[in-house]
Amino acid sequence: MKFNIALLAGDGIGPEVIEQAVKVSDAIAKKFGHEITWKPALTGAAAIDAVGEPYPDETHEICKSSDAVLFGAIGHPRFDNDPSAKVRPEQGLLKMRKALGLFANVRPTFTFPSLLEKSPLKRERIEGTDLVFLRELTGGIYFGEKGRRDGGETAFDNCVYTRAEVQRLAKKGFELAMTRSKKLCCVDKANVLETSRLWRETVQAMEKDYPEVTVSYEFVDAVAMRLVQWPNSYDVLITENLFGDILTDEASVISGSMGLMPSASLGSDIGLFEPIHGSYPQATGKNIANPMATVLSAAMMFENFGLQEEGKAIREAVNSALEQGIVTEDLADGGKAYGTKEVGNWLAANV
């Protein structure tokens, strides 16, 4: 097969980890007889510096004409403590999600046996955890009307959902549950929020179309607790944008493998694949960032093209690297630490 992949390296360690994912993907392409054309494009603070906005039209055109987007990380500390900054890297991310119709953020949390000790949780709590969040990504309070009134003294953010938005996300949730253990948890705050009541009634109405799936409904605060207590009691979880933001990040740290967690954002034909970690500015340019989450995001990309074997080859290479200690300093535990590039090279040579 032939693919065009838009390559959005972004800020901080983004370019370094993306470079490794490219290497590994190229090795996979060679092995399985595919042809990948990479189309680099600007995004994030890097794009603000170059052309004044975080998701330039040119970048969008490149994404639109590609088969997938491989994304590094964006964000720069100089924007974070300035509530009045007019242009921010994050705006680019939101604009991109909306423009590409990426309404479903797929966030798996799983464990690597060799990393269990890294988890802040006790082994018996975390062992066997393998859950996936589907976070709605283009609606809710992120995209509702927001602003000030009373001369700036009052601020507001509107959270809006339509039934159709809930349905298309929930459909992906039911379908994913069917390929796994047929358990779906709908996370909401239906005891307080009208949008949550719409979520709950919409999902309830869809249950009859998936008679094999067992659906549970839990409040977001209860899930925030149970994720820490019994993460392995969950399988597929669906939720709205803001709850998903908070809970997927919470879930990511319980595994002990946060630096290794990939993600996919799906919707239209073009999927976006990115590590869940941030741009980690302190590590920039030092060849110390862990590239595995980005490499595993490339695995999700192949799998989303229907190329399961290709994805598996990448996952197995990552597993071997972990087992053999071919890891960056975050995982080295006092042992030998390899550089970002060296880990990338090893993975490319071993897929």
Ligand X SMILES: CC(C)[C@H](C(=O)O)[C@@H](O)C(=O)O
Catalytic residues: 142, 189, 221, 245, 249
Residues in the chain: 351
- Closer by beta carbon to ligand X, 140 or else 344: 140
Choose, by CB under 8 A, the member of 50, 51, 87, 155 that binds its own copies.
155
Choose, by CB under 6 A, the member of 158, 191, 204, 233 that binds ligand X.
191
Regarding 110 and contact with its own copies (CB under 8 A), the answer is: no
Query: What is the number of other CB atoms lying within 10 angstroms of the CB of residue 160?
Result: 13
CA separation, residue 273 to residues 21, 141, 246, 247, 293 (Å)? 11, 23, 19, 19, 10
DSSP result, 256-299: S-GGG-EEEEESSS-EEEEESS---GGGTTTT-S--HHHHHHHH
Phi, psi of 144 (to 5 degrees): -75, 170
Q: Which stretch binds its own copies (CB under 8 A): 11-19, 45-53, 59-67, 247-255?
A: 247-255
Regarding 157 and contact with ligand X (CB under 6 A), the answer is: no
Tokens 């491989």 -> residue = 70
Distance CA 111, CA 208 (A): 33
CA separation, residue 129 to residues 43, 89, 123, 173, 236 (Å)? 34, 33, 10, 18, 12
Regarding 252 and contact with its own copies (CB under 8 A), the answer is: yes
The radius of gyration computed from the CA coordinates of the chain, to the nearest angstrom, equals: 20
Site map for ligand X, 218-237, x if CB under 6 A?
---x----------------
Distance CA 321, CA 52 (A): 40
Known binding-site residue numbers for Mg(2+): 221, 245, 249
Minimum distance from residue 133 beta carbon to its own copies (Å): 13
Minimum distance from residue 235 beta carbon to its own copies (Å): 19
Regarding 157 and contact with its own copies (CB under 8 A), the answer is: yes
Site map for its own copies, 9-48, x if CB under 8 A?
----------------------------------------
List interacting residues with its own copies (CB under 8 A): 79-81, 83-84, 88, 90, 94, 120-122, 125, 141-142, 144, 146-148, 150, 152-164, 189-195, 197-198, 200-201, 204, 217, 220-222, 224-225, 227-229, 242-243, 245-247, 249-250, 252-254, 258
Binding site for ligand X (CB under 6 A): 90, 93, 191-192, 221, 245
